[in-house]
Structure 1
Amino acid sequence: MDILLNAFQTYVNGLLTWIVSSPPLELLWMFFPFLIFDAIRMFVKLAVIAVDAVFGRFKQRPSQFFQPQVSIIIPAHNEEKIIKRSIESALEVDYPNKEIIVVDDGSTDRTSEIATPYYKRGQISLVRRDVASGSKAGALNYGILFSSGDLIVTVDADTLLERNSLREAVKPLSDPSVSAVSGNIRVLGGENGGNNLLVLLQSYEYLIALELGRRYNSIIGTLLIISGAFGVFWKSLMESLGSYDMDTITEDFDVTLKMRKLGKRLVFAEKAMAWTFVPETWGSWRRQRIRWTLGQVESLWKHRNIFRKMGFDLRFVVAAYDMVIMDMVLLLIRLTWFFTLIHLSLLTISYIVVSMLAAYMVLETVMALTAVFFSPRKEFSKILLTPIVVLFYRPIYAFIRIEAYLKWLLGLGTTW
């Protein structure tokens, strides 16, 4: 034990000596991916959220009496395990003017059988396609045809709404300038009822992505995704857009880009809470993330005129460039940066990597604390996951995204 402790102390002393003795410009080059792309970005994001939290209270509050009729559409394909809970969750939502439409998109299991009693009692509308559309977009479009509400609420079959979620989601739409609202999604558990480490890591990931990412983007007007798991749109807008296209995997991202190209304002409603189930095996998680990443690049490629055509809202264009740089280009930059270090000694490389990981650990902890502080649910225990997120989860996800981008370049797709 003493030998290990002495070795650790020697290494730490060497690391500190290296940091102090290295020229500032050399340190700047070694840490530029962190400093330029992550640290500065985070501090700007936190500052914007803090300012909005202080001064946002003086904004005009949405009307409490704004209650247009809504159509909750639940697309389902072989969802016998969860459709009952999904329907009951929608029925329990405290909102007076609602209809619930379950779209059985060619299921071969008991989805329709389980939903039928609710239909016979007049609690829901049940529409069924004998042949599956092959995509969630097709199922949603079919449901919209049968809807009578002024607002369309899309809810995944594995998503459960909180009782007041619809009231909170509809409030921002009392402002005529708002066209769509993204709900606040949290992880309830694994898709098969488990609650293992992977499920906990995804729960942490959702917390950071929504409470910091979407909140920040909503504040500055750069929101690019209205979550398909829980999103609210004006039906008239959806009809003018031709509803959902079926040529991409991520129909929610695609339709949001269509809205933004028309200059529509989109917002994130942090109090409109819903709960979803996530993959609980690494294999199913990998397949989901490949599908999401493929859908992202498919949609950006489809709407690539964003990057070369004048006339689009500047904030929208900046947000699109930001997504490409942060999600795609930065992967290449980080790999290139790492390979520029190979001429150094192994000890020096270890110093750089350890220092970088320590910096990211601090950054991740600050982000987690901020996200928990602003979240309607104060889940401080999630902060304990930050070391695993930094050391394992985010690096693994980075390689999965690389795999997905290569699949796209090679023309290898996926399905719903």
Structure 2
Amino acid sequence: MTGLTIAVLIPAHNEETTIGELVQACLDQPYPVEQLIVVADSCNDRTAQVARDAGATLVLETNFADKAANQNHALPYVTADVIVGFDGDSRPEPSCISLMVADIARGYDATCSSILPIQRTGFFIEARRFAYSLGSQWWRLCQRQVGRLQVLTGASYAFRTDVVRAVGGFPNGLISADMDITWKLHEGGYKTWYTADALTLTIDPETWAEYTAQMPRWAAGYFQNVLRYRRLMWNWRSLLTVGTAMFDLVTLWWWLVVVIYNLTTWQHLSMFRYMGYWFAGHTALTMYLVSRVVGWKKALIGFAPYTLLNFYNKYLYTRSMFREWLLGRHYAAWTGRSGRKTVITPMTPSRRFGLGCAGAIAGTATAIWGGYLGSSLLWTTGMAASCLIPLAMIRISGSGQRRATPSSLTIAAPPAGGHATRELPTAEALDPETTLQLATRR
């Protein structure tokens, strides 16, 4: 035992089928749980009652429809040294809490565990299991070594309570709250870690509809966070972590362009031999890393689903990058299991005007250059761009509505003996340039 007291915090939405098992799994951990707080948010099932029956010390019922807001609502009730958080559809394996708290006791301010799907098999499950395993043996270990985790997994984490309070609580306003709090800690100079040996199982998408509902939010949330914390990219650690992720994103498209060009022109065909060597080496290394987590059989089964979905994932991230950064259309709400309609904010008039003007200028310059070189292709392309891009900017008005966000979020005071009521900044206060509504984390 480390001597640190812990409070388990579980934000949940319609989790009556899993919340009881999760609460019991936390209480059965060898590390003593001083508080177990469940925040049942916008539930229309028996989540709250099941949590009480399972042994939760405090159940709060809210209607925020926002993960960060629910965590902040529970924050004043926390009296323990460490907040250990789990999603309502997850389940920690034995010693998960002990291992994470041990790293906190070693001097780290926050950490998270490894994640694997709780389901046994399925196309999307095998792909996600492969991805989680690869990340735990490569990306996360590299990021841990550099000192810049891209995200402290929201499904299973441990934060020092005083550190969460010091940064103003769990930040909200972005579609991905987990990455938001991670970079908020980086911004404050706090030390993050990754407890690789700790493991939590979580329910992952099993159908195409579920998968395609979750992944766009993850992709949009990534670029929203990089944009919000862009000033941190001047730090070499941040630049290395994000830069390698961006390099991995663009490399796939670069390879496709090269392959298509060579096949079309029937030139440089010898490069395919070297590409084969590279692919074989990459596959062998990847399979070895994954097999260290789930064994060779699961690694072999998951390789094809992971590889196929990787193309789709890269497409989503590329699309989100252009939409979030270039068009300024932000993913503000998602469907999830709550059934809410996906909301993407419209482009602002000033951005449409600016992009239209930039397109017209670039198109005109291309046409002039084409005329100078005597290239009808460049001239035609430039003229088309100078006309069509401004017209496209006029048409793109976006779908969805902006929803007013209060200037601050008031956290209710707990019973006598708790912490005093205080106000936490919301998205508008934290980042005036961000026009997102409160993020829906379901």
Instruction: Name the TM-score class by shorter chain.
Output: 0.7 to 0.9
Distance 1:142 1:364, change over 3 A: farther
Cα distance, 1:294 vs structure 2? 0.5
For residues 198-347 of structure 1, what are the structure 2 equivalents within 5 Å? 198-308=124-234, 312=235, 314-327=236-249, 329-330=250-251, 333-334=254-255, 336-338=257-259, 340-341=261-262, 343-345=264-266
Distance 1:232 1:318, change over 3 A: same
Distance 1:387 1:185, change over 3 A: closer
1-side partners of 2:322 and 2:45: how far apart? 34
Whether the 8 Å CA contact 1:307–1:317 is kept in 2: the answer is yes
Q: How many residues align?
A: 332
2-side partners of 1:216 and 1:93: how far apart? 29
Match of 2:342 in 1: none
Residue 101 (1) aligns with residue 101 (2): no
Cα distance, 1:387 vs structure 2? 4.7
Cα distance, 1:348 vs structure 2? 7.1
Whether the 8 Å CA contact 1:104–1:127 is kept in 2: the answer is yes
Match of 1:125 in 2: 58
Distance 1:390 1:356, change over 3 A: farther
Match of 1:402, as an amino acid? T
Cα distance, 1:338 vs structure 2? 4.6
2-side partners of 1:388 and 1:156: how far apart? 29
SS across alignment from 1:249: coil
Whether the 8 Å CA contact 2:112–2:158 is kept in 1: the answer is yes
2-side partners of 1:247 and 1:334: how far apart? 36
C-alpha distance after superposition, 1:175-204 (max 9, x if no partner): 23x111111111111xxxx73122111111
Structure 1 portions without partners, runs of 5+: 1-64
Distance 1:386 1:77, change over 3 A: closer
Q: Percent of aligned pairs with the same residue?
A: 19
C-alpha distance after superposition, 1:264-287 (max 9, x if no partner): 221111111111110001121122
**In the alignment, which of 111, 114, 124 is matched to residue 47 of structure 2?**
111
List 4+ stretches of structure 1 deviating above 4 A.
351-355
Cα distance, 1:319 vs structure 2? 2.0
Cα distance, 1:342 vs structure 2? 5.7
1-side partners of 2:289 and 2:41: how far apart? 41
Whether the 8 Å CA contact 1:68–1:97 is kept in 2: the answer is no
Whether the 8 Å CA contact 1:100–1:125 is kept in 2: the answer is yes
C-alpha distance after superposition, 1:23-77 (max 9, x if no partner): xxxxxxxxxxxxxxxxxxxxxxxxxxxxxxxxxxxxxxxxxx4131111111011
Residue 143 (1) aligns with residue 74 (2): yes
TM-score normalised by structure 2 residue count: 0.69
1-side partners of 2:133 and 2:221: how far apart? 22
Whether the 8 Å CA contact 1:195–1:280 is kept in 2: the answer is no
C-alpha distance after superposition, 1:343-376 (max 9, x if no partner): 423x977x86686366324313322213433x4x
Match of 1:36 in 2: none
1-side partners of 2:310 and 2:276: how far apart? 12
Match of 1:71 in 2: 7
Select between 231-240 and 385-394 the one with higher mean Cα deviation.
Answer: 385-394
Residue 167 (1) aligns with residue 98 (2): yes
Distance 1:403 1:317, change over 3 A: closer
1-side partners of 2:36 and 2:30: how far apart? 13
